[in-house]
Amino acid sequence: MKSVFLSRFFILLPWILIVIIMIDIDSKRAIRSPAAGRHSRAPQAVRSGASTQGNRNQSALPMIYAITPTYTRPVQKAELTRLAHAFRQVPRFHWIVVEDSTVRTELVARFLAGCKVPFTHLHVFTHRRFKRAGMPRATEQRNAALAWLRHHRSRRDSGVVFFADDDNTYSLELFEEMRSTQGVSVWPVGFVGGRAYERPLVSGGKVVGWYTGWRPDRPFATDMAGFAVNLQVILANPRAQFKRGGSQPGMQESDFLKQITKVSELEPKANNCTRVLVWHTRTEKPHLANEAKHRKDSVLIEV
Ligand SMILES: *[C@@H]1O[C@H](CO)[C@@H](O)[C@H](O)[C@H]1NC(C)=O
Ligand SMILES: *[C@@H]1O[C@H](CO)[C@@H](O)[C@H](O)[C@H]1NC(C)=O
């Protein structure tokens, strides 16, 4: 009886081992599949073989790379949540989030992992001496994102680069407008320059000046949210950067755009710059002065 059992067991043993090895190889392959690490997965629909007509068209669209510098503050997660709600609905979209921090913070890492937008999570710390009032902000963070694009994208990739600060509100239409950017495109921005909106003045389909409440002498009197750049222009101008030294507050956009384009070459979007599709809304700073006076909650809750 015992020997019958043993001989059956030895006949089955090799087969059991083969099955175990197959399962092991399979699961390793799953773990190693493309989106390992910090980058999120590409949208399922685009990856799947059984793509519909709509998906096939989508994969032909230039990718929109939105660069968002961000820093730790009470409203950070609320701001990023508002952005994600819009970005999630934009096809062929890649969010490059750059924290002003010595590390990737857990709050932002957790947020991005669950935001359902394909993303890259970077960080670079700006020293305190560069954070005084009147100094240009987020310079290092934007440059880190440009460096990432130059390192990870090539002449084969079609795309449009846009600087999506986290204190703005974005219409979905804005992304469809910017997607056709060949060089550098421009459009109006609401609630900037001390006015209801700023906009490029357009005549005969060309930008001829700027409608603004503040320093109209700026070569490019536009906000960070008022332009987009074709990815190939970023790659073809490897030294184009945001500048800290010599850049006056409010001149970052002009100092950057001067390096890659001319006013006469700008492509007006949003109906020849007559529609506002992005607003510098900002979120009111919450009044938390009394927070320390109150009894602490019994649980630690992320805000
Ligand atoms: C996809 O693209 C083709 C040609 O490029 C066009 O005829 C068709 O209408 C598009 N389909 C959708 C759903 O946009
Ligand atoms: C913009 O203006 C140009 C020149 O006047 C005109 O040809 C073009 O159709 C306009 N574009 C839009 C979207 O209104």
Q: 3-class DSSP state for residue 43?
A: coil
Q: Is the CB of 203 under 6 A from ligand 2?
A: no
Q: What is the DSSP letter of 69?
A: E
Q: In testing the pocket of ligand 2, which one of 177, 206, 208, 272 has its CB within 8 Å of the most ligand atoms?
A: 272
Quick check: 253 and 220 in contact, CB under 8 A? yes
Quick check: 250 and 214 in contact, CB under 8 A? yes
pLDDT tens-digit readout, 51-74: 344 556 777 899 999 999 999 999
Q: Where are the beta strands (DSSP E) in the chain?
A: 63-70, 93-99, 119-123, 159-163, 169-170, 184-186, 189-190, 197-203, 206-211, 227-230, 267-268, 278-279
Q: Which of 32-41, 107-116, 230-239 has the lowest mean pLDDT?
A: 32-41
The catalytic residue among 99, 140, 177, 253 is: 253
Q: Where are the beta strands (DSSP E) in 193-281?
A: 197-203, 206-211, 227-230, 267-268, 278-279
Q: At what angle do helices 76-87 and 106-113 cross, to 10 degrees?
A: 20
Structural domains in the chain plus CATH codes: 58-186+225-264 (3.90.550.10)
Nearest CA to ligand 1 atom 4: 57
The Cα 115–Cα 197 span in angstroms is 30
Nearest CA to ligand 1 atom 6: 57
Nearest CA to ligand 1 atom 11: 54
* Banded pLDDT at 261 (limits 50, 70, 90): very high
Nearest CA to ligand 1 atom 14: 54
pLDDT at 41 over 50: no
Backbone φ, ψ for residue 199 (5° rounding): -155, 155
pLDDT tens-digit readout, 5-31: 667 767 777 787 776 667 666 555 444
pLDDT at 32 over 80: no
Q: 3-class DSSP state for residue 221?
A: coil
Report the atom number in ligand 2 closest to the C-alpha of 268: 1
Q: Is the CB of 246 under 6 A from ligand 2?
A: no
Q: Which of 38-47, 241-250, 262-271 has the lowest mean pLDDT?
A: 38-47
The verdict on whether 253 is a catalytic residue reads yes
pLDDT at 127 over 50: yes
Q: How many other C-beta atoms can be found within 10 angstroms of the C-beta atom of residue 36?
A: 9
Left if phi > 0, otherwise alpha if psi is -120 to 50, otherwise beta: which for 132?
beta
Backbone φ, ψ for residue 189 (5° rounding): -130, 130
pLDDT tens-digit readout, 196-240: 999 999 999 999 999 998 888 899 999 999 999 999 999 999 999
Q: In testing the pocket of ligand 1, which one of 57, 61, 92 has its CB within 8 Å of the most ligand atoms?
A: 57
